[in-house]
Structures are given as structure tokens and as C-alpha cells.
């Protein structure tokens, strides 16, 4: 069963945008409405995928994994200090 289209969207275009978009829709055999709907859906999926996934090159992935495996003593000291202050302030009680 097909979903019923019940929502309406209006947008304003320049004459040039309308001409280019209309020509592109005609070139692929779609109505302007179908062309916009398909293009908007593809872009929305792309944006949401970019927000949910991190793509790293091989070099970036290697640097990231190296950073995870490398102990940063300054960070360790700051985390210990934060943990100690939290215990003293009664915010969080962590076992030593």
C-alpha cells in the first residue's frame, strides 16, 4: 500500500532556479514536484548519515587508534584531581 501524500510544502524560487530545476526534472522524466521530493530525500539521508557516522581515512583511523592506546599522563592527573575534588565536594563518591 502506498503512503498517501498529505503534507504540502511551498517554496519560492528565482526564475533561473525554476528554469534549471525544471530542465533537470524534464531530463530525468520526472515532474518538478517528484524531482524536488527525490532530491530533498536524498540530501536528508546524506545529512543524517553524516551526523550518525564518522568516516576516517586510513591515516586518520591509525592516528585515532594510536591516541586511544597512548596514555596521556597530563589527562590522567587531571582526571584524578577531578575525581578527588568530586569526592571532597560530596558530588560523587568513587571508590579509590
Per-residue model confidence as pLDDT tens digits over 56-80: 999 999 999 998 898 888 988 998 9
Q: How confident is the model at residue 10 (pLDDT cuts 50, 70, 90)?
A: very high
Query: What CA–CA distance (Å, rounded) separates 57 from 35?
Result: 33
What residues contact 35, with CB distance under 8 A and at least 6 apart?
A: 21, 24, 25, 28
Decide if pLDDT at 96 tops 80: no
pTM, entire model = 0.54
Grid cell 526534472 is found at 25
- Identify which has the larger pLDDT, 39 or 96: 39
Region label for 7, one of left (φ > 0), alpha (ψ between -120 and 50) or beta (otherwise): beta
Taking the domains of the chain in order of start, what are their residue ranges? 14-53, 57-96
Mean pLDDT (whole number) for 20-27: 97
Amino acid at each position: 500500500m502506498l503512503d498517501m501524500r498529505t503534507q504540502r510544502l511551498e517554496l519560492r524560487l528565482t526564475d533561473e532556479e525554476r528554469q534549471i530545476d525544471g530542465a533537470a526534472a524534464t531530463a530525468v522524466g520526472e515532474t518538478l514536484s517528484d524531482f524536488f521530493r527525490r532530491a530533498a530525500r536524498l540530501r536528508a539521508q546524506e545529512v543524517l548519515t553524516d551526523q550518525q557516522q564518522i568516516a576516517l581515512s586510513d591515516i586518520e583511523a591509525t592516528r585515532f587508534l594510536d591516541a586511544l592506546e597512548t596514555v596521556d599522563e597530563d589527562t590522567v592527573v587531571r582526571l584524578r584531581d577531578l575525581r578527588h575534588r568530586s569526592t571532597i565536594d560530596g558530588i560523587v563518591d568513587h571508590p579509590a
